[in-house]
Amino acid sequence: MIDEKDYDTMNRAYFLDKAEELINGQRAKDYGDAKANHYRIAQMWEVILGVEVTPEQVCACMIGLKLARLANDMQQDDTWVDIAGYAALGGEMSQG
């Protein structure tokens, strides 16, 4: 587990490492395969919205949600970590 004490400052390495730890660690254990989970989310959103939604779009929308939260408080470190995680997942999913 990554600890803030392992870093001189909470720099880009901290945020990227923490995101990697989450998406390949506990979140993967909690929610299963990321692509399958985001596909399930996309299917639910399709019913709600009445339009086709891809797993990559789910990642993009979740980044948008996190950005909206940052508008209230830019110091939310966990939100920055989540954005990095969604960006990594979305980039991976967009490759096919």
Helix/strand/coil (H/E/C) assignment for every residue in 20-89: HHHHHCHHHHHHCCHHHHHHHHHHHHHHHHCCCCCHHHHHHHHHHHHHHHHCCCCCCHHHHHHHHHHHHH
Q: Mean pLDDT over all residues of the chain? A: 92
Give the pLDDT confidence of 50-70 residue by residue, as tens digits.
Answer: 999 999 999 999 999 999 999
Give the pLDDT confidence of 7-28 residue by residue, as tens digits.
Answer: 667 889 999 999 999 999 988 9
Q: What is the pTM of this model?
A: 0.87
Tokens representing residue 38 in the block: 């985001």
User: Looking at the predicted structure, is the pLDDT value of residue 2 above 90?
Assistant: no
* pLDDT score at 5: 62
